[in-house]
């Protein structure tokens, strides 16, 4: 079968139909697209031409490829995520009867690189990278939610304006992990950034269309901002701040947990702040804080 954009779109629809997370669909389709581009450089245009040797050569190519955003090579976790996307693509081909491609590379995640932490100086650099326009105001509010309040991506994306209790300096998390609800305190600076976003930036976005929207974070189309959108904004801020680390949205949550422990907050308090159901989940941050 010919390798083309129609096949990529079909793969994306398959992932959505099976209920994969939005971020997984996004990275999987991007990784498969990159794989197709590499195949074309090798003059491979049909699925039937893909074999184990070709997959091993692609893996070697990833190991040697330079990082486009940062200096140095691609991280081990990035390569594993890439290969896992190809494994999903392989399952898609098999289950839809298009082809059979065996991705039998057994890769292990490096334990030392599971969590990437930003220093407090780097966090300040992210805030400094925010512009003064309405997009920058939204970026500061985003940092306040995901770093200042330590929310997960899904929790932040699900926030409504009514969940931001400015007077009480609390954020009401309606859709926490395992459907657990909680209230998260916000610092004065986070409150100011959220207040500025809600009454300035968000109002400016709403003025583009005469509609009502309950979502806290809005995109250019005046609809709920997606998790993928947050990831893209964080990557842009990391680039603008000149931070040479492979940072994702969840890194902000890891960072605030580590910084709170470093400041003297107890493990139990940090666990409650993050919405963990078990102290053992929070325990990893004690090692990061000590380091």
Both tokens of 84, joined, read 């896992």
Cβ proximity of 74 and 34 under 8 Å: no
Best CA proximity match to 253, nearest among 166, 191, 174, 177 = 177
User: 216 is written with which tokens?
Assistant: 């806290």
Nearest to 286 by CA among 272, 265, 274: 265
The SS3 assignment for 5 reads helix
Dihedral angle over CA of 221, 227, 232, 238, nearest 10: 130
Q: How many CB atoms lie within 10 A of CB 22?
A: 17
CA 110 to chain centre: 19
Asked if 30 and 77 count as a contact pair (C-beta separation under 8 A), the reply is no
What residues are labeled active site? 152, 177, 250, 253, 276, 285
Q: Are 57 and 117 in contact (CB under 8 A)?
A: no
């Amino acid at each position: 079968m010919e390798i083309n954009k129609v096949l990529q779109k079909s793969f994306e629809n398959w992932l959505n139909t099976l209920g994969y997370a939005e971020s997984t669909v996004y990275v999987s389709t991007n990784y498969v697209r990159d794989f197709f581009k590499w195949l074309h450089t090798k003059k491979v245009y049909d699925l039937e031409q893909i074999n184990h040797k070709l997959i091993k050569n692609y893996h070697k190519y990833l190991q040697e490829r330079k990082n486009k955003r940062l200096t140095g090579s691609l991280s081990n976790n990035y390569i594993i995520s890439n290969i896992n996307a190809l494994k999903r693509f392989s399952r898609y081909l098999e289950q839809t009867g298009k082809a059979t491609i065996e991705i039998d590379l057994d890769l292990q995640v490096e334990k030392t690189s599971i969590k990437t932490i930003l220093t407090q100086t780097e966090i300040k650099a992210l805030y400094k990278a925010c512009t003064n326009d309405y997009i920058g105001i939204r970026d500061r509010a985003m940092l306040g939610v995901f770093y200042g309040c330590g929310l997960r991506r899904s929790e932040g994306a699900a926030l409504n304006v009514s969940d931001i209790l400015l007077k009480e300096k609390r954020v009401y998390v309606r859709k926490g992990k395992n459907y657990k609800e909680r209230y998260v305190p916000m610092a004065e600076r986070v409150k100011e950034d959220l207040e500025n976003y809600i009454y300035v930036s968000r109002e400016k976005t709403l003025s583009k269309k005469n509609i009502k929207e309950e979502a806290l974070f809005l995109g250019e189309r005046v609809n709920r901002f997606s998790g993928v959108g947050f990831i893209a904004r964080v990557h842009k801020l990391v680039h603008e701040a000149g931070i040479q680390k492979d940072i994702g949205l969840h890194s902000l949550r890891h960072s605030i947990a580590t910084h709170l422990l470093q400041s003297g907050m107890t493990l139990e308090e940090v666990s409650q702040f993050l919405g963990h159901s078990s102290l053992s989940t929070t325990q990893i941050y004690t090692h990061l804080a000590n380091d």
